[in-house]
Structure 1
Amino acid sequence: MKNHNNPKVEYKKILMIGNSFTFYWNLPQVLEKMFEASGINIKVFQKTIGGSKLHEHWTYHMQESYAFKDYDFVTFNEHSTYPLLQLDSCAKYIKLFSETAKNKNVKPYVYGTWEYPYLKEISSQRHSNTMQVLDSISDVNDVTMCL
């Protein structure tokens, strides 16, 4: 993408797909400002729905409005409890999104969120915490995990 202020500058583009853990503290804008301040030419876009799960993004929006081919990178943020309580769904949709991204020559990333108190309570009753589960799913799908 050309920078309209300086036509010689090319920008990479990131699409962030997720929920309030992606948008609540203006994470896309914060990242974009950090890139800009560091001299990195990356623009950040988002497709977010509060409280959403990846299966909702896939089912209701993927085909008509998530044009992966227009981006260089994409991040996926699953609902905070799904890696622990709905592992099969979490793994399925990370795989589907990742395969779709790779087929469009887009680098996929899984974005893991912090373990807030309720999530820590769930984690304490399992063998793995959220980040360990997401890391395993990422490894299996050859996707980079980012925190």
Structure 2
Amino acid sequence: MLKAFHSAVLATAFLFLSFNAIAQAPEKVLFVGNSYTYFWNLPQQVAAMAQSRDLSIHTSQSTSGGTSLAQHWRGEKKLQSLPMIREGAYDAVVLQDFSMQALNAPDTLLHYGQQFANEIKAKGARVFLYMTWARAFDPYMQATITAKYEELARLCGATIVPVGPAWERARSLRPDLPLYDPDQSHPSPLGTYLTACVFYGVFTGKTPVGLPHRLTSTDHAGEKLYLNIQSTEDALFCQKVAADILGLPFVSPVK
């Protein structure tokens, strides 16, 4: 059973890497989600990784804590996700549903995921699905989360960003790795770094190995902001896990 699961993950990796091999990296990306997206500035970290390799990925977000795609669709909590998509200002949109939706309300995930995908594709943009991770106390959740996001990807022709499987691989190799916030649900800064590595690999089709272990940006005054600071060892481990899950090389590009 374990062998079959890893074969499925590898097959998924091949599918989205094949997609990225023939498509240009998105330049304007909207992240639609909740705290799993905005914890530790995930969109900005992805943009910083791209910038470190002289790639331009401008990221925006429509997020609110504990929010599902259904709530985004209905415009609850004053969210403007649907109007933002309909403005057509993005060439890619990332969809992230409530973290337990795949287990507790999978039909809702599939329904609103398809609804959003139709709107995104109508504007000529690409759809990316942020496949999240299992809670720390029950790693067995991942199989169901993975299966439901793969089903949604098949239904709407989306590209999966397999963050959950990357976390699963990292935890199997280094069980002591502090990927989780103390609440055992949200990501720690290291967990967000690993997540950003997976997004970078999917968006660009390039290996994350060799990315900076310190990610920076600038504020409106031009002052430096440190988005994430990891040890070189932990950063390289996360980069390799992401590359492994995506079937990308472990050789960093020469600048």
State the partner residue of 1:17. 32
RMSD: 1.9
State the partner residue of 2:72. 57
- Unpaired segments ≥5 residues, structure 1: 1-10
State the partner residue of 1:73. 92
Give the alignment partner of residue 38 of structure 1, picking from 53, 64, 81: 53
Give the alignment partner of residue 28 of structure 1, picking from 15, 34, 43: 43
Q: C-alpha separation between the residues in 2 aligned to 1:63 and 1:79?
A: 17
Letter in 2 for 1:106: A
Task: Decide which structure has greater helix share.
Answer: 2
CA-CA distance at 1:38 after TM superposition: 1.1
Q: C-alpha separation between the residues in 2 aligned to 1:119 and 1:99?
A: 33
Letter in 1 for 2:35: S
Number of aligned pairs? 133
CA-CA distance at 1:116 after TM superposition: 1.6
Letter in 1 for 2:112: Y
Give the alignment partner of residue 93 of structure 1, picking from 105, 109, 112: 112
Q: TM-score w.r.t. structure 1 length?
A: 0.83
1:81–1:119 Cα contact (<8 Å) kept:
no
For the structure 1 residues 67 and 140, does the alpha-carbon distance in structure 2 shift closer, same or farther, using more than 3 Å as the test? Answer: closer
Give the alignment partner of residue 151 of structure 2, picking from 129, 136, 147: 136
Q: TM-score w.r.t. structure 2 length?
A: 0.49
CA-CA distance at 1:109 after TM superposition: 0.6
CA-CA distance at 1:66 after TM superposition: 4.0
Q: C-alpha separation between the residues in 1 aligned to 2:128 and 2:52?
A: 22
Q: Which 4+ residue blocks in structure 1 deviate beyond 2 angstroms?
A: 61-68, 117-121
1:112–1:134 Cα contact (<8 Å) kept:
yes
SS of 2:129 mapped into structure 1: strand
Deviations 1:117-143 (A, max 9, x none): 35646x38xxx4211211111112111
CA-CA distance at 1:54 after TM superposition: 0.3
CA-CA distance at 1:84 after TM superposition: 1.3
Q: C-alpha separation between the residues in 1 aligned to 2:94 and 2:87?
A: 11
CA-CA distance at 1:26 after TM superposition: 1.0
State the percentage of identical aligned residues.
Answer: 26
Q: C-alpha separation between the residues in 2 aligned to 1:33 and 1:63?
A: 26
Larger Rg: 2
Letter in 1 for 2:43: P
CA-CA distance at 1:65 after TM superposition: 4.0
Q: C-alpha separation between the residues in 2 aligned to 1:64 and 1:143?
A: 20
Q: C-alpha separation between the residues in 2 aligned to 1:35 and 1:63?
A: 26
- Unpaired segments ≥5 residues, structure 2: 1-25, 163-255
For the structure 1 residues 22 and 63, does the alpha-carbon distance in structure 2 shift closer, same or farther, using more than 3 Å as the test? Answer: closer
